[in-house]
Amino acid sequence: MSKVYLVGAGPGDAELITVKALKCIQKADVILYDRLVNKDLLEEAKSDVDLVFCGKHPKFHVLKQETINHLLVKYAKQGKIVTRLKGGDPFVFGRGAEEAEELAKHGISFEVVPGITSGIAAPAYAGIPITHRDMGSSFAVVAGHRCKGKHDEVDWKSLAKGVDTLAIYMGISNLPYIREQLLLNDKNKETPVAIIQQGTTEHQRVVSGTLDNIVDVVKESRVNNPAMIVVGEVVRFRDRLHQLSLLYNDPVPQTVVIEA
């Protein structure tokens, strides 16, 4: 009996996938997978599985979303088990809701399998807690890149004044604009900012600064996508963790990368 699974593959580290998500990979007849999915996970699939790459690069999509929707419906109507494998969580900037809606329109059975999103995992691997009772009791996940002409849909005023920590996805190319909006809405220019490139992977790299200088830091460090932007006082915990590890002569856990 056919079914479509909309599956979150996690933020990059293959071991961060859930047990349920792994089972969806193992039983699939067809896997449609995104660019940021760890390719090691595909080794868990059946030998005769059909693999369809649906990766999206900045300003270039291998397959349009409408085509992906069509393929999900097509394979399901052929009686196949289909796993739509997405980086992170399928409902956090993953267009999983659009795919679920399309499947529902065609009366196709589907299930959503949540995944660990990079807005939480990448900071954690960088030694930054997304919340901390002394530094930040609220956080928001924000799309740093919107469709052309839709910048104004982001309520930067509320984000700047009403939320302690911002986890900004897909924002590197728009970092100057993001910085400008936060400063225009009275966010302190000394607010710490961390940029985590390829978070949770072996290629993870972290650079940090403040709202005042972060654009220059990113240019000098040549940070590229994919990268997570974290804005808030919790970023300071990274330095505290580093100092404590040196003080007690005990290494920081391996999942935490403390080098710039």
Residues with catalytic roles: 34, 56, 170
Shortest CA distance to 87 belongs to which of 224, 198, 222, 171? 198
Beta carbons within 8 Å of 5's beta carbon, 6+ residues apart: 24, 28, 81, 82, 83, 84, 110, 111, 112, 113
Shortest CA distance to 7 belongs to which of 72, 64, 61, 65? 72
Cis peptide before 226 (omega within 30 of 0): yes
Q: Which two tokens stand for residue 4?
A: 């479509």
H or E stretch including 83?
strand 81-86
Q: Which two tokens stand for residue 260?
A: 């710039």
Query: DSSP of 162-201, one letter per residue?
Result: H-SEEEEES-STTHHHHHHHHHHTT--TT-EEEEEETTTS
Q: How far is CA 53 from CA 48, 57, 122, 207, in A?
A: 16, 12, 24, 31
Give the 3-state secondary structure of residue 25.
Answer: helix
Q: At what angle do helices 175-184 and 214-221 cross, to 10 degrees?
A: 170
